[in-house]
Structure 1
Amino acid sequence: MTRRELDAAGITRPELRQAYRRCRELNARHGRTYFLATRMLSPAQRPAVHALYGFARRLDDLVDEPAPGATPESLAATLREVEAGFLEELAAGRSDDPLRAAVIDTAARYGIPEPCFRAFFTSMRMDLTVTGYPTRAALDEYVHGSAEVIGLQVLPVLGTVVPRQEAAPHAAALGKAFQLTNFLRDVAEDLGRGRVYLPADELAACGVDRDRLAWCARTGRIDPPVRRALAGQVARTRRVYAEARPGIAMLHPASRPCVSTAYALYGGILDRVEAAEYNVFAGRARVPRRRRLAAACDALVRAHWARRRHPVVT
């Protein structure tokens, strides 16, 4: 992490500066798109975003890339141990683990409430045993901890021009919209892990079950019932984006270019799914690189001018 970012964020203790550097390295190595997005934020905001990403990434990897010989039971026990230790350290305000030290410092600086972290652990545990969701309500329970709370964690770092509680539902909706977009794009990949993140009752209403999705994944083809089902899921996800959109104007002006660009590019994945006639099994839906670069360049320019006119004060 650059000295400029650490100085701008007011991080002075040597051990904390090193902890935040570790988080930045993790973000740069594993979350390249996410890392580039942080460049649109002010230097003062970046360390906190790196810390939050690093924490979420470590837990995701624990579940999705387990050590050889790990079982759901052993992983669940590990997660419970990690959660108990982290919540104890969070209450104490310190940790000897560099990554946790940075996220605990971020939580204290920005007043991120403990339930946001507790809910994330709950959803990570669900991934160990839950392979499908019978209803929208069941999926929403998972998405709250896996995505909505991420929006709520990042919101105080982004800053608002309205009371935080007014912007919070929109921040949660944006996290949810991004997650639902991932679920649609990654149906085949998730099936390979034995999971389906689409409500079974909504699929069944279109005559679709897990076996039919698996056939599509094996063949790279899509049939009319699956196409209808995925079209319905895209429409639902667009409504969540509409719920999130008003929140962008509620953010600190310096944060808006980053979030509005992410909003547009993630929404663009849905455009690509529609353009492929919902066949997410033939290849990964991606926004064209030229469009991504153009959007990023435009956002960087807007972010630069926004920061000049509305400096971020930590």
Structure 2
Amino acid sequence: MAGSALNDARLCHHGQRPGTPVVVASLEQAYEDCRQETARWAKTFYLGTLLMPPAKRRAIWAIYVWCRRTDELMDSAEAQALPQKQLEQRLEQWEQRTRGFFRGEVRDGLDLVMVDTLERYPQPLQPYLDMIEGQRMDLRQHRYATFKELALYCYRVAGTVGLMTQEVMGRDPAYTSAPWSDAPDTSEAAVALGIANQLTNILRDVGEDRSRGRIYLPQDDLMRFGYGEDQLLAGVVNDNWRALMRFQVERARQWFARSEAGVRWLAPDARWPVWASLRLYRGILDVIEQHDYDVFNKRAFVPRTGKLLDLPFSFVVAQVR
């Protein structure tokens, strides 16, 4: 059981005053619920978390579930049927609830594990607010004129995850304990990995996103490669599309490369899982290429066998880089 912050947590429901008694799951059960949800919805990510020590993996599961619930406010089947004003209200309520568990308020099991996680691994509120703002972008903006616009969106909905989790990962004491230590800030690399993952999601999910009326590929890139929005909506795979996608895949790989610089500074028990997650997620780009960039009719994913076979390679990389 956690210490003072969790013991002092104020339990409240929507509209109830702090201090009103409510029934929530035990801390152990709440973490188990987060584990199950992560395993169900993020198989590649979940596999990487299993390489972490128990305390760290549980914190990562809690953060993942908070992020997924944030995303579901906009992207669930239920949300798709709601008017914009109601979606805005949901985001506002979620923001207030998030500010609440940073103050130690608990309404349910997710709040409970987040309060525990924040006590064990203190971190700022701002990345959480930035992610919610990313959901507001999805509410208002369905096209992106330039990559600069898209990069801001990618930071908010995914780069923030790097900032949320870097305190959980920790730094190698060998670089931080000595007075002469000059280990750099890993925040930039953490954000880069989140952006790389989101760019990969965008390329994998082009076909799915178009059914929601969303096109994330920058409009100026579509024009540059002579590929029209009407063709994208129709799922046309031609030479122009392949050239456009080759460019996008290479851009995503560059962001993965930028993220690698920070992994070496992480705590030893975090380097292997981070390398494994990075390599496995980057592998989706390889599958997109193998499918000849047909993301409209073929879903790109790394098979379970491929994931397991890559783990020893990730371990070796974690030791030498």
Whether contact under 8 Å (1:147, 1:176) holds in the other structure is yes
Shift of the alpha carbon at 1:34?
Answer: 2.6
Residues 1:42 and 2:53 are matched in the alignment: yes
Query: 1:22 aligned to 3, 12, 33, which one?
Result: 33
Residues 1:225 and 2:237 are matched in the alignment: no
Distance 1:31 1:268 in 2: 15
Letter matched to residue 216 of structure 2: Y
TM norm structure 2: 0.82
Distance 1:190 1:128 in 2: 13
Residues 1:244 and 2:262 are matched in the alignment: no
Distance 1:98 1:198 in 2: 37
Structure 1 residues 79 and 151 mapped into 2: Cα distance closer, same or farther (>3 Å)?
A: same
Whether contact under 8 Å (1:200, 1:209) holds in the other structure is no
Distance 1:12 1:70 in 2: 35
Distance 2:27 2:184 in 1: 29
Shift of the alpha carbon at 1:211?
Answer: 1.0
Distance 1:71 1:128 in 2: 10
Query: 2:97 aligned to 72, 85, 95, which one?
Result: 85
Distance 1:253 1:87 in 2: 32
Cross-structure match for 1:99: 110
Query: 1:204 aligned to 223, 226, 231, which one?
Result: 223
Letter matched to residue 187 of structure 1: V
Cross-structure match for 1:112: 123
For residues 157-199 of structure 1, give each alpha carbon's deviation from its aligned partner in whole angstroms, at most 9, with x where no partner exists.
1111256861111111011111101111111111111111111
Distance 1:115 1:209 in 2: 38
Shift of the alpha carbon at 1:143?
Answer: 0.9
Cross-structure match for 2:305: 290
TM norm structure 1: 0.84
Taking the TM superposition and a 5 Å limit, the aligned residue runs for 1:120-139 are: 120-139=131-150
Shift of the alpha carbon at 1:297?
Answer: 6.2
Unaligned 5+ residue runs, structure 2?
8-24, 177-182
Shift of the alpha carbon at 1:127?
Answer: 1.6
Paired positions, count: 293
Runs of 4 or more consecutive aligned structure 1 residues displaced over 6 Å after TM superposition:
9-14
Taking the TM superposition and a 5 Å limit, the aligned residue runs for 1:139-178 are: 139-161=150-172, 162=175, 166-178=185-197
Unaligned 5+ residue runs, structure 1?
1-5, 307-314
State percent identity of aligned pairs: 34
Whether contact under 8 Å (1:107, 1:113) holds in the other structure is no
Distance 2:255 2:184 in 1: 18
Whether contact under 8 Å (2:192, 2:255) holds in the other structure is yes
Whether contact under 8 Å (2:163, 2:187) holds in the other structure is yes
Query: 1:273 aligned to 284, 288, 293, which one?
Result: 288
For residues 203-240 of structure 1, give each alpha carbon's deviation from its aligned partner in whole angstroms, at most 9, with x where no partner exists.
21111232111122xxxx51122111111111111111
Aligned residue for 1:229, secondary structure, equals helix
Shift of the alpha carbon at 1:154?
Answer: 1.0
Cross-structure match for 1:310: none
Structure with greater helix percent: 1
Whether contact under 8 Å (2:59, 2:168) holds in the other structure is yes
For residues 126-178 of structure 1, give each alpha carbon's deviation from its aligned partner in whole angstroms, at most 9, with x where no partner exists.
22232111111111111111111101111111111256861111111011111
Whether contact under 8 Å (2:66, 2:110) holds in the other structure is yes
Letter matched to residue 277 of structure 1: D
Cross-structure match for 1:309: none
Distance 1:31 1:239 in 2: 23
Superposed CA RMSD: 2.8
